Structure 1
Amino acid sequence: MRIILLGPPGAGKGTQAVRLVERLGIPQLSTGDMLRAAVAAGTPVGLKAKAVMDRGDLVSDDIVVGIIADRIEEADAKKGFILDGFPRTVAQAEAFDSMLAEKGLKLDAVVEFKVDENALVERIVKRAKETEARGEQVRKDDNPEVFKTRLDAYRTQTAPLSAYYQGKGMLKTVDGMEPIDDVTVAVKEILGR
């Protein structure tokens, strides 16, 4: 099963992705992790990415899609994968769709987590306090001001993906403000497993 999870930062995509990995036995693919692994492995696309990053530039959509194309060929991703954090733009989605089509593959589901953005800020503050209480390092992006900047970026760059996938008849939504277990049940119903 090939799945994309959409929604603003703090919507619960990561939490649900972990549960999907456990239930479906497919990997969650992080573009950041894949980039670092491709660079470390010295793959052709990894070497291209390294050259770009060494210059301090952002890696192009073509390179990111190339890294994903290589990654989904690995044995653990043959039965499917979960993408959370990619695509970030409609251009990336179009490039990703083309790459999948070239491989004779298609997405099975695009699940969007609908949330109240004001409540998200409260959720992030709570998450930071709980992390601190456990004596763990608080994520840099769990600062309310940093979070609001990320939310703005999501709104302008990534939110248009909803219309893109809706237009393809693929978008399914869940209420990301519900308790975690209820969201898990809703995602399970959408995926049929």
Structure 2
Amino acid sequence: MLNLVLFGPPGAGKGTQSQKLIARYNLVHLSTGDLLRAQIAQGTELGLRAKKLMDEGLLVPDEVVIGMIGSALKDNKQAAGFIFDGFPRTVPQAESLDRLLAEHETKVSCMVALEVAEEELVKRLLERGKTSGRPDDQNEDKIRKRVTVYNTETAQVAGYYAQQQKFHALNGIGAIEDIFGQICGILDQHAAAAPASSKQATDEVKA
């Protein structure tokens, strides 16, 4: 099973690469934001708890987010693997994710971070803001704050996965297909090092 932690600051092209990776490897995309919205819409126990906290202006605690990811894992038992989008953001979250995946007899294969200079990100997001309708894509100060938060969070988690020899940084500027090819190369490398059963499943998906 291939489990990719995909990181990249806002505007790095993470969404574009996620869709291509999903199509190639038959992965399930897990975005914590999407999971939260889905659980709230479904009125689940976790969703109701999260909504109450959010309505009070409080952060959703890690155990709630991990619980939602656990539910998603159970709902997609036949998946060839998962893309964790923007999660984990802290070392405690990474440790919790490792424990959760171990309960499902799998683990994080690797973490890939798309690196793009701040000025390029600001340029991309301001351009995106002309059509996205998102207020946070139209305010340069907010964009720079988002990038700063991302860089601070990623530095911690990158170190965690680097100790496990799972961290890879890629230049997020260039042709989409070239960047995609580099990510695939990293995933294929980790798949080749996986147990035979996992490697066979991955080969079948790619075939």
Q: Which amino acid aligns with 1:110?
A: M
Deviation at 1:45, TM superposition (A): 2.3
Alignment match, 1:141: 136
> For residues 142 and 54 of structure 1, do their structure 2 counterparts lie closer, same or farther at Cα, with a shift above 3 Å needed?
closer
Q: Which amino acid aligns with 2:137?
A: D
TM-score, normalised to structure 2, is: 0.82
CA contact (8 A) 1:90 1:160 kept: yes
Alignment match, 2:36: 35
Deviation at 1:17, TM superposition (A): 0.4
Identify the range of structure 1 (145-154 vs 52-61) with the bigger mean alpha-carbon deviation.
Answer: 52-61
Deviation at 1:176, TM superposition (A): 0.7
Q: Which amino acid aligns with 1:2?
A: N
- Is 2:164 the partner of 1:163? no
- Is 2:147 the partner of 1:151? yes
Alignment match, 1:80: 81
Q: Which amino acid aligns with 2:79?
A: K
Q: Which amino acid aligns with 2:146?
A: R
Deviation at 1:76, TM superposition (A): 6.7
Deviation at 1:103, TM superposition (A): 2.3
Q: Give the alignment partner of residue 180 of structure 2, picking from 179, 184, 191.
A: 184
CA contact (8 A) 2:7 2:112 kept: yes
Identify the range of structure 1 (38-47 vs 56-65) with the bigger mean alpha-carbon deviation.
Answer: 38-47
Q: Which amino acid aligns with 1:21?
A: I
CA distance in 2, matches of 1:161, 1:43: 30
> For residues 156 and 77 of structure 1, do their structure 2 counterparts lie closer, same or farther at Cα, with a shift above 3 Å needed?
farther
CA contact (8 A) 2:26 2:79 kept: no
Within-5 A mapping of 1:1-193: 1-75=2-76, 78-128=79-129, 132=130, 136-143=131-138, 144-192=140-188
Q: Which amino acid aligns with 1:163?
A: G
> For residues 77 and 127 of structure 1, do their structure 2 counterparts lie closer, same or farther at Cα, with a shift above 3 Å needed?
farther
Consecutive unaligned residues of structure 2, counting only runs of 5 or more, are 189-205
CA distance in 1, matches of 2:116, 2:132: 26
Identify the range of structure 1 (175-184 vs 154-163) with the bigger mean alpha-carbon deviation.
Answer: 154-163
CA distance in 1, matches of 2:85, 2:97: 14
What does the per-residue CA deviation read over 1:76-120, in whole Å, with 9 as the maximum and x for residues that have no partner? 763211111111222211111121122222012211112222222
Deviation at 1:147, TM superposition (A): 0.7
Aligned length: 187
CA distance in 1, matches of 2:116, 2:66: 28
Q: Which amino acid aligns with 2:31?
A: S
> For residues 22 and 78 of structure 1, do their structure 2 counterparts lie closer, same or farther at Cα, with a shift above 3 Å needed?
closer
Q: Which amino acid aligns with 1:164?
A: Y
Q: SS of 2:113's equivalent?
A: strand
Q: SS of 2:6's equivalent?
A: strand
Q: Which amino acid aligns with 2:142?
A: V
CA distance in 1, matches of 2:128, 2:44: 37
CA distance in 1, matches of 2:145, 2:168: 26
CA RMSD of aligned residues (A): 1.9
Consecutive unaligned residues of structure 1, counting only runs of 5 or more, are none
Deviation at 1:3, TM superposition (A): 0.9
